[in-house]
Structure 1
Amino acid sequence: MMKPKREIVSRRNRPAKEALSHELIVKTAYDLLKEEGTSGMSMRKIAKQLDTGPSSLYVYVKNLQELSSYVLDLGLGELHLPEITDDNWKEQLSQTLYGYAMLLIEQPGLAELSLRTIPIGDNAFRLNEYLLALLQKGGISSTSAAWGTDLLLLYVSSVALEKAARSSEQMERTQNYYNEADPVRFPLMNSLKKEIFSGDIDSKERFFWGIEVIFQGILQMQQRGRS
């Protein structure tokens, strides 16, 4: 009995792999981040996606921390920054920060990266330059503008991470815990339950309230001559 002939496929007929590069690694990591969150953005998974070994990636990036910074910067490229006009600069500042928050919330894992990494690259610098220009347009001094920008971005990242990480079911469970808290031991918390959970970021009110608090603090510190 004759054995069936085995079909041999030449390796030359396979599609050529895209050459490994810094840009390809960052883009692949960003795609995995969007699909799986930060758990999907490991060097091992990135290497597997690129059909290579993890050691090959270190030729282009020092470590996962540096790669995370580049991935965050790539994500920030999707943030629209309108031209600064002579209109209400504070309104422009608030709307830009809200747009930044929405970007972090809508892209899985991006909010977490914004808190645990220092973004490096043109897109991150573009955002910082834009916020500094708006603050200085409002008469904020150099040091106050620099420190204020850092504080505002930290606030936005914290709000975005909280919103991105919690589901409606989690919020409902949390509210139930507050409702069941002993009103004798925690009288203020018990009386302010409604206020504590009011003003979700989707309504913008609480979000913009936080920005205004930070801004008023910047102004007050500047008036005291501390920065």
Structure 2
Amino acid sequence: MPRNTLTPDQIIRAATDLLDEEGLDGLNMRSLGNRLGSAATAIYWHIKTKDELVRLAGDAIWDEVTLPDLSATGWRTAAADMATGMHAMLTRHPWYGQAAGSYLLYGAGKSRFDDHSLALYEQAGFTGAEADQAAATVFVFVLGSALGPASEVSLTRRLNRSGADARQVLADTMERAAEAAAPFPHLRKRLGTTGYGDAPGGSFAFGLQSILDGFEARLAGR
């Protein structure tokens, strides 16, 4: 595809698809050009570096999170909806958590989400820095909750590329981890119901509701 027929939006959509399939290590201008049916030089005409490409793709995915109407929705329901939507988005794009630790990510998409989040907690009754702290608390919890599944996707890709049987390697590792945990009674009991390193079912919902319970109690105590 000639450079004058490519658009930045086309490039960003193709880059996002490539990142979803191959992760950060699989994104390069040549692979992206092959996906677009274009020379890498045509991409450079619009986007100069991989860092800029990751930033733009990392910002575009925030538009997938639906922002609730704060005039028609209570703050707690709105907060739960935004957090759940963010978690689902990060699960669809497991590379974002890795990118957040190694790239400078910003843009209109994330700013839109952050602005709505601040408005939500101000509506709840938090003022000044507290609204920012409340928004940051939920943001960090959701991001952290999505890192486990994202790490597994990244590790599986790396093992597969090395020629190893990723499923068998992970199963063997979990078996050794369970053996190491066996002398510890609380872990040993837990291993009877879930795999080592696996969060119990419903952990995300439990954690989110606990945070919002704390917010509600804090506001009610004023």
Q: TM-score when scaled to structure 2?
A: 0.70
Distance 1:212 1:116 in 2: 30
Q: Which runs of 5+ in 2 are unaligned?
A: 154-166
What is the distance in 1 between the residues matched to 2:101 and 2:124?
27
1:24 and 2:21 matched: no
Whole-Å Cα distance in 2 between the matches of residues 199 and 182 of structure 1?
17
1:67 equivalent in structure 2: 53
Change (3 A) 1:49 1:183: closer
The alignment status of 1:190 with 2:177, answered yes or no, reads no
Letter in 1 for 2:204: F
Q: Which stretch of structure 1 is more off in the superposition, 93-102 or 209-218?
A: 209-218
CA 1:216–1:42 in structure 2 vs 1: closer, same or farther (change >3 Å)? farther
Q: Write out aligned runs for 1:2-13 (5 A).
A: none
* 2:179 is equivalent to residue 180 of structure 1: yes
**2:64 aligned counterpart, secondary structure:** coil
Q: Structure 1: which 5+ residue stretches go unaligned?
A: 1-14
Deviations 1:100-158 (A, max 9, x none): 11122123534433554443222211111111111111111221222332332232122
1:45-93 CA distance string (max 9 Å, x none): 2244453245x65554453223212101112222222212354311220
- Give me the whole-angstrom Cα distance separating, in 1, the residues matched to 2:43 and 2:3: 15
Contact conserved, 1:144 with 1:222, CA < 8 A, in 2?
A: no
Identity among equivalent positions (%) equals 22
Q: Give the structure with higher Rg (CA).
A: 1
Identify the residue that residue 200 of structure 2 maps to in structure 1: 199
In structure 2, the CA distance between the partners of 1:171 and 1:90, relative to structure 1 (3 Å rule), is farther
Relative to 1, partners in 2 of residues 1:62 and 1:140: Cα closer, same or farther, differing over 3 Å? farther
TM-score by length of 1: 0.69
Corresponding residue of 2:123: 137
Computed over aligned residues only, the root mean square deviation of the Cα atoms, in angstroms, reads 3.7
Contact preservation (8 Å) 1:35, 1:108: no
Q: Work out the CA distance in 1 between the residues paired with 2:100 and 2:2.
A: 35
- Equivalent residue, structure 2, for 1:5: none
Q: Which runs of 4+ in 1 moved over 6 A?
A: 216-223
**Structure 2 vs 1, CA of residues 43 and 162 (structure 1 numbering), >3 Å: closer, same or farther?**
same
CA shift, 1:216, in A, is: 6.3
Deviations 1:194-224 (A, max 9, x none): 4874533xxxx3213323454567789999x
